[in-house]
Structure 1
Amino acid sequence: MEKVRATRYVLPLREGGSMPGLVEADDDGMYVVKFRGAGQGLKVLVAEVVVGLLGRTIGVDVPDLVEIELPPAIARYEADEEVQDLLDASLGSNLGLDFLPGAFGYDGSRVPDAATAQAIVWLDAFTANVDRTWHNPNLLWWHDRLVAIDHGAALYFHHSWPSRAPSPERFAAQRFDASTHVLADVAGTTAVAARHEELAALLTPEVIRGVVEAAPEEWLETTADLPDADAVREAYVACLGARLAAPAAWLPGADR
């Protein structure tokens, strides 16, 4: 990912539980920043990168991603103590998503074409992203494009790593319930299953490894079982590879 440096904290976006914020950077870009100091932790940033780049590979629109550096002075003029504490806890490397001015949230009044819906449902099933429901669609219409955002709830398996060793087999076998997905009716589960070979073929081992490599090393949390960044990356690659190889367990509409 491109690296930029934050120059101004603009405002908090309080819609999300992690309180992302709008930040201006030294490339004159405006970014929605997911902060390393938020309660959900660094693993959410890793999931955003991995799932976002996997989605882009299969044709799902996601905002451009950057690694954004927050300098010590970023909170100097922030009056809100809660925001100030968050910024002070997030100095250094954070995740920025390109701000999409004028975008509006998905409400079903306008639906995407079936192929777009199928790719999004397939991506969410593959990465076990349960956070794309009518309660929280995490989809934006922007310039006639349906953009998928907020993938921090995906790849939940990595939250168990501090207490147990990675288990690609467990993740590969985890079912995905597509019945509550916001695009389930548009996509059609049978049609999603029919697209599997096409979409899975795009995620070669080299692609998966490259996507995992995109996550900055300092976001990768080591454990007793994963003693360094290389071991953490290998665990992500192994889990994603195992799930891709076992679609009968998780693919909506697959024969079981």
Structure 2
Amino acid sequence: MTNSKIELRTVNVTRYITPLREGGSLPALAEANDDFKYVLKFRGAGHGVKALIAELLGGEIARILGLKVPELVFANLDEAFGRSEGDEEIQDLLKGSQGLNLALHFLSGALTFDPIVTQVEERLASKIIWLDAFITNIDRTVKNTNMLIWHKELWLIDHGATFYFHHSWGDWKKAAVSPFPYSKDHVLLPQAAFVEEINSEMVALLSDEKLSEITNLIPTDWLQWEGSEMNVAEIREVYFQFLVLRRNNSNNFVKQIQDARKTLV
């Protein structure tokens, strides 16, 4: 990990290739003006910009922790994009996603992680389950591992279902200090033998400075929520304070992971 400032590139989407229908929010394989292919996540889908915020925060936090995540980029959709698309559902999605979206670099030839085929080293498994408890990721289960094997290494994808507190935006402070009961369903729970040992290391990597850099990456127009009484700066500050508070109370979810592992014996 380097101490350089976290920045994301911005690309312009030039070609819609195909929908990836295994994703609930109908992501797509697309090509951009840098000639790379990306998995494109749309602001006009499902949970809208909140899913993009979750994807952005979750992915970049994972990267800070030294875990492998495909490069994230902001992906701009021109207003004329998709007019020739024949599928009405996709055309509506594209029209509703004009402007800034989010995309992950496409890992060509990657295989879906299979826990039966691939054994994950215990410290790596511990770091991944710590990450998922920290960002409240309900999606890394046996049914939906959201991990890929690419060039014989484990890569993490799909963090759009994290930070679910922001869908109700109620008592975010309570959510920040809560344990994470879904750890019991985590695909790597059996291998996560060093969660307590790596806790201080993970906490140290998530400095206030880095957490501020990440929350400052969120585009302003993703924080202009219809019906919200909070302004952009206030919403951004809640995300930052949530991360700080959850980091400072990591023992709460670490203990729950350990308790969940005891039930496996």
> With structure 2 as the length reference, what TM-score do the two structures score?
0.89
Displacement of 1:119 in angstroms is 1.1
Of residues 105-114 and 229-238 in structure 1, the stretch that sits farther from structure 2 once superposed is 105-114
Q: Name 1:183's counterpart in structure 2.
A: 188
Displacement of 1:225 in angstroms is 6.6
Q: How many residues align?
A: 249
Task: Report if aligned partners of 1:132, 1:138 keep a CA contact under 8 Å in 2.
Answer: yes
Q: 2:80 is matched with which residue: 63, 73, 80?
A: 73
CA RMSD of aligned residues (A): 1.6
- Report the Cα distance in structure 2 between the residues aligned to 1:123 and 1:76, rounded to whole angstroms: 40
Q: Name 2:262's counterpart in structure 1.
A: none
- Report the Cα distance in structure 2 between the residues aligned to 1:249 and 1:232, rounded to whole angstroms: 25
Letter in 2 for 1:116: L
- Report the Cα distance in structure 1 between the residues aligned to 2:212 and 2:101, rounded to whole angstroms: 21
Of residues 62-71 and 245-254 in structure 1, the stretch that sits farther from structure 2 once superposed is 245-254
1:1-256 matches, cutoff 5 A: 1-108=8-115, 109-161=117-169, 164=170, 166-188=171-193, 191-222=194-225, 227-251=230-254, 252-253=257-258
Partner of 1:195, secondary structure, is helix
Letter in 2 for 1:186: Q
- Report the Cα distance in structure 2 between the residues aligned to 1:237 and 1:124, rounded to whole angstroms: 17
Partner of 1:75, secondary structure, is coil
Q: Structure 1, unaligned stretches of length 5 or more?
A: none
Partner of 1:66, secondary structure, is strand
Residues 66-99 of structure 1 deviation map (CA, whole Å, 9 limit, x = unaligned): 0000112221221111111111111111001000
Partner of 1:72, secondary structure, is coil
Task: Report if aligned partners of 1:117, 1:187 keep a CA contact under 8 Å in 2.
Answer: yes
Residues 136-165 of structure 1 deviation map (CA, whole Å, 9 limit, x = unaligned): 10000001111111111111111112xx4x
Partner of 1:37, secondary structure, is coil
- Report the Cα distance in structure 2 between the residues aligned to 1:4 and 1:216, rounded to whole angstroms: 14
Displacement of 1:111 in angstroms is 2.1
Task: Report if aligned partners of 1:2, 1:66 keep a CA contact under 8 Å in 2.
Answer: yes
Task: Report if aligned partners of 1:71, 1:92 keep a CA contact under 8 Å in 2.
Answer: yes
Q: Structure 2, unaligned stretches of length 5 or more?
A: 1-7, 260-265
Letter in 1 for 2:146: N
Of residues 15-24 and 245-254 in structure 1, the stretch that sits farther from structure 2 once superposed is 245-254
Letter in 2 for 1:150: D
Letter in 2 for 1:230: A
Letter in 1 for 2:64: T
